[in-house]
Chains A and B, each alone.
Chain A
Amino acid sequence: MKKFEVKDLINIGIYTALHFLCIFLVAMLGFIPQAFIFAGIIEGFLGAIPVMIFLTKVKKFGMITIMGVLLGLITLLMGRPWPCVVIGLAAGLITDLIWMKADFSKIKFGPVCCGTMMLWSAGMGLPLFFGYRDSYLANLEEGYGKEYVEVIRSLTPDWMFIGMIVIAVVGGFLGGLFAKRILRKHFAKANLVE
């Protein structure tokens, strides 16, 4: 494994900040239960753009994994249960492996990487599913009444967890395609990437 340089770490920090900000802004919208499918797509789409630019700077294995860990840590800071850090790490690692397979340069793998990177956002939705869900919903019921909870419950069966991930990944992939276009149209033309 090649050693990280200061530049690599600074790039990780900067693009993680940009990626997170894109997603955080849209995530606010996701509070409407019916909109969260929609929001998932947009989140992935927007978030993918900085990821794509970041990929062009990644020439070493491990950089994307660190990005995943950072995203997991931020999720933890946002009050999500601790497995979110593991999810972040896994998302980063998977993406890292794919990007390594692409020799850190084959841009056609970019959108796939943008997609898999979005797996970290599963940590964000964690409280809505599995063991967390029943107690979460029970809490909500006391507060908001049965009907509201029914809406949420019907929208979020456990398989929906998978659905949510798929949505975010698809959003990421589509965003990646868009970002690839931007990359070709602007960055390559302005000689900012090879």
Chain B
Amino acid sequence: MITFSNINFQYKNNKTDKGNLIDINLTIEEGELIVLTGESGCGKTTFTRLINGLAPNYYPGTVTGELLLDGENIIGKSVAELGKSVGSVFQNPRSQFFNVDTDSELAFAAENIAMDPSEIIRRMDIVTEELDLKELRGRSIFELSGGEKQRIACGSVAVMFPKVIVLDEPSSNLDAESIEKLKCVLGKWKQQGKTIIIAEHRLFFLKDLADRLIVMKGGRIANVFNREEMNDLSSSLKEMGIRPLEEPGLCIKRSDDGIRDFIRINRLKYSYDRKTQALSVEDMLLPGKQVVAIVGNNGAGKSTFLKCMCGIYKTKKDSLTQNGKRWKRKQRSKDCYLVFQDVNHQLFTESVLDELIIGMDGSLSEEEKKKKALEILERFGIKNLAGNHPMALSGGQKQRVAIASSVAAGRDIILMDEPTSGMDELNMMRLSQELKRLKKAGKTVYVVTHDYEFINECCDSVIKLD
């Protein structure tokens, strides 16, 4: 049982007078599965950090109040000490592994508390069986997909047989199939009577599992819904800025916007090594001057497709046409702009304004460039950020800057890779508006996504990649 009584928390680097968690009072029963949700910055991640001890031990700050885990106050207990009973799964698969191979990672935590090696191996086998990790054992972390990494992360936590497990946006980098697998894992854990606290934006996969849904706002608990109440929620969630509890079906309004046969792909193939074909597209028609969703199963090569299309990957013997004219790789890289899933890598200047200016047509004078850049920023509603450092922005803002810079660079085709992963309702809606505006301005947007709500919101057609 976990009891929050009058918990207040404020990060040390938070210079405002508003706390990050305010007046939290909550009792979580043993075996409960609690879903925390709310807009970005509402405090749900901080909530999980208090339970695993990262706040205030690792992320310093001041706490008042009491947080009891089975009757014992855990505020001030070290993270490593808490790690024996609380398991943590994080968002970013690239940075949560200490090891380079899956087996070592599964054993890692148990080794750290000096558990007997034969016991570790016994537990690893149990967990492998329970979480169906057999095919992932003995592999290099670097060759796993995001979903597979997340399963190993769950497995490595499970080996400790923790009573409590906290997960911080575990689905943000996962596709539909992997989310389904994650759901299975959570189900197993729930069956075993573990207490699970999960901070998430996307809720549909948690609907059948959640015992309580907690909506947070500005560091406070705004609403608590139990199972029955959750069922009547669907309509009011949107107003609260929360993603729906049901995964919506695909329903897009057929629009006559754009051009039917804008790009024709006769042949586009790519392989990372000699053995496996990562992408093979033959004869595909892509509409233009509209927002097109590209969907497909795990491993269909959606991200690879985007990278080939915009010319980052060298594809040999490709044959594409745009408006009936041959469309070579060189030209593609001039026409297309890919917004990465992890947008951080594509922003590298010192201000938002510079970010736009750097990619602009070289024939313009500095003055003209600046003027044009400010115009574009105005259009995107981020003119007030012109002087800010891109890395100081929120995820949604960074994405907007990246799109704005592609517009500034005069690219007509914008490609996006899973832009709504880890996004709350508000930012998702904002992005949809953005894309609709781009379409109006005569741009073409191809977006790889599995977010049906997002597709329904702004896409004009859907292409399935097999």
Contacts and interface: CB of A to CB of B under 8 A. Distances in A.
Direct contact between the two chains A and B in their complex (CB within 8 A)? yes
Interface of A: 6-7, 185-186, 189-192
Contact of B391 (A6, A7, A192): A192
A6 to B, nearest CB: 8
A185 B350 contact: yes
Interface in B46-89: 58, 80
Contacts of B392: 189-191
A190 B58 contact: no
Contacts of B351: 189
A186 B350 CA distance: 6
B389 interface: yes
Interface centre among A185, A189, A191 (most CB of B within 10 A): A189
Contacts of A6: 80
Nearest to A191: B392
A189 B389 contact: yes
Nearest to B391: A190
Contacts of B350: 185-186, 189
B398 to A, nearest CB: 11
Contacts of B391: 186, 190, 192
A60 B164 CA distance: 34
Nearest to A182: B350
16 contacts: A6-B80, A7-B58, A185-B350, A186-B350, A186-B389, A186-B391, A189-B350, A189-B388, A189-B389, A190-B389, A190-B390, A190-B391, A190-B392, A191-B13, A191-B392, A192-B391
A164 B341 CA distance: 45
Contacts of A190: 389-392
A185 B391 CA distance: 12
Nearest to A194: B13
A191 B15 CA distance: 12
Interface string B258-269: 000000000000
Interface residues of B, number: 10
A191 B14 CA distance: 11
Contacts of A189: 350-351, 388-389, 392
Interface centre among A6, A185, A190 (most CB of B within 10 A): A190
A189 B139 CA distance: 41
B105 to A, nearest CB: 15
A124 B76 CA distance: 46
A185 B392 CA distance: 12
B75 to A, nearest CB: 19
A166 B391 CA distance: 36
Contacts of A191: 13, 392
A105 to B, nearest CB: 16
A185 B389 CA distance: 9
Contacts of B390: 190
A2 to B, nearest CB: 15
Interface string B213-239: 000000000000000000000000000
Contacts of B13: 191
Interface centre among B13, B351, B388, B391 (most CB of A within 10 A): B391
Closest 7 CB pairs of A and B: A190-B391, A189-B389, A190-B389, A190-B392, A185-B350, A191-B392, A186-B350
Contacts of B58: 7
Nearest to B348: A186
B79 to A, nearest CB: 9
A7 B60 CA distance: 13
A186 B389 CA distance: 7
Interface string B375-400: 00000000000001111100000000
Nearest to B15: A191
A6 B108 CA distance: 14
Nearest to B351: A189
A6 B388 CA distance: 33
Given A7-B58, A190-B391, 4 more contacts: A185-B350, A186-B350, A189-B389, A191-B392
A86 B95 CA distance: 33
A189 B388 CA distance: 8
A95 B248 CA distance: 59
Contacts of B389: 186, 189-190
